[in-house]
Amino acid sequence: MARKLKIGITCYPTLGGSGVVATELGKLLAERGHEIHFITHSIPFRLGHFNKNIFFHEVEVNDYYVFRYPPYDLSLASKMAQVAKMEKLDLLHVHYAVPHAVCAHLAKQMIGDELKTVTTLHGTDITVLAQDESLKDLIRLAINKSDAVTAVSQDLIQETRKLLDITKPIDLTYNFVDKRIYYPRDVASLRLDYASPNEKILMHISNFRPVKRVSDVIEIFQQVAKTVPSKLLLVGEGPELSKIQCKIREMGLEERVVFLGKQEDVAQIISLADVLLLPSEKESFGLVALEAMACGVPTIGSTAGGIPELVTHGETGFLSPIGDVNSMAANAIRLLTDEKLHQQFKEACIFRACHDFCNDRITAEYEEIYYRVLGME
């Protein structure tokens, strides 16, 4: 049996799907007997219960008076090296090229080549940052210096190659959901707090950044609400929130839209929905669509980035070109007015999430990559 590993994990601990995936992966690896050391600026928000194999090392930023900007990245690199040395880490698995993979490269230079580094690309580090000429060389360096690089969709691999001219192999490792947490919850009585028995629930969950096109969500809902008695539940918050609130008032939809703000228990909330709306402009994977899928909720969304690798058009949801709100609304109406079709989609969703994106399968894929970089195949 292969030896258990000591793994350092760095991610953005407080927001977004990348932090969720990194934290859940750490927890699953710990359950499999590996020793996991999170090296981040605060405790990852999904860390949850105590586990004897999980450790947290806080990165504290030096704020000397000569620093105009406190250098978080240098503090992180030093902390990575310090933890790697003290805990005799086998490898660092970092989520996001900039700055995390750059810091891991610096840490490796302090420790030596025996410390291996694995970088997972999640999207905006490539699709947004790599468009900036001033950052391209840095991102390329971070990728080329990693012992292994993974990306969360085939689309992101292609984008990375195209934008950065990278020839190094990139492993495809899809995001996953823990099937012990993400399954259709019994929310019959909770549902009555949001919608009457004859109403359908549409839901959108995001960080309300412009790339999520939350305006499209409202326009889709406006069309749906004309023919289907329904409510729209909006979960999350972010820069576009007040603009969206205005739009909802202007359209006279206040009575039919409910804002839930940021929520922790996504599985419970998503189970309330009949469909999830994800009309994003950019989406390297779309973790929320997978969370919905595992809870039996089909997605009506765009064909952006990696969404089509996750949502099978006509089986687990319907996809339309970015910005085509008429088509998205028509698809939502079709699903919400055909009970038999909706039930069929729901079953296909649960099956696909369990088989293709389940925690055991993807965790094993990451383990395989770790053993490969350590020459322990």
Nearer to ligand GMT, 208 or 370 (CB): 208
What are the two backbone dihedrals, phi and then psi, of residue 357, each rounded to the nearest 5 degrees? -130, 35
Nearer to ligand GMT, 123 or 298 (CB): 123
In the complex, minimum distance from the CB of residue 204 to ligand GMT, in angstroms, rounded to a whole number: 13
In the complex, minimum distance from the CB of residue 11 to ligand GMT, in angstroms, rounded to a whole number: 9
CA–CA separation, 312 and 308 (whole Å): 6
Nearer to ligand GMT, 57 or 209 (CB): 209
Query: For the chain, what's the residue count?
Result: 377
CA–CA separation, 345 and 336 (whole Å): 11
In the complex, minimum distance from the CB of residue 315 to ligand GMT, in angstroms, rounded to a whole number: 20
Please write down the HEC assignment for all residues of 147-183: CEEEECCHHHHHHHHHHHCCCCCCEECCCCECCCCCC
Q: Residue 143 belongs to what H/E stretch? A: helix 133-145
Nearer to ligand GMT, 222 or 284 (CB): 284
Nearer to ligand GMT, 11 or 233 (CB): 11
Nearer to ligand GMT, 116 or 122 (CB): 122
Q: Residue 26 belongs to what H/E stretch? A: helix 16-31
Cβ contacts of 49 within 8 Å, gap of 6 or more: none
CA–CA separation, 276 and 274 (whole Å): 7
In the complex, minimum distance from the CB of residue 86 to ligand GMT, in angstroms, rounded to a whole number: 29
Which residues are at the interface with ligand GMT (CB under 6 A)?
16-18, 21, 122-124, 127, 152, 175, 207, 209, 211, 282-287, 305
CA–CA separation, 216 and 218 (whole Å): 5
Nearer to ligand GMT, 12 or 370 (CB): 12
In the complex, minimum distance from the CB of residue 99 to ligand GMT, in angstroms, rounded to a whole number: 13
In the complex, minimum distance from the CB of residue 211 to ligand GMT, in angstroms, rounded to a whole number: 5
Count helices and strands (H / E) in the chain. 15, 13
In the complex, minimum distance from the CB of residue 180 to ligand GMT, in angstroms, rounded to a whole number: 20
What is the chain's Cα-based Rg?
Answer: 21
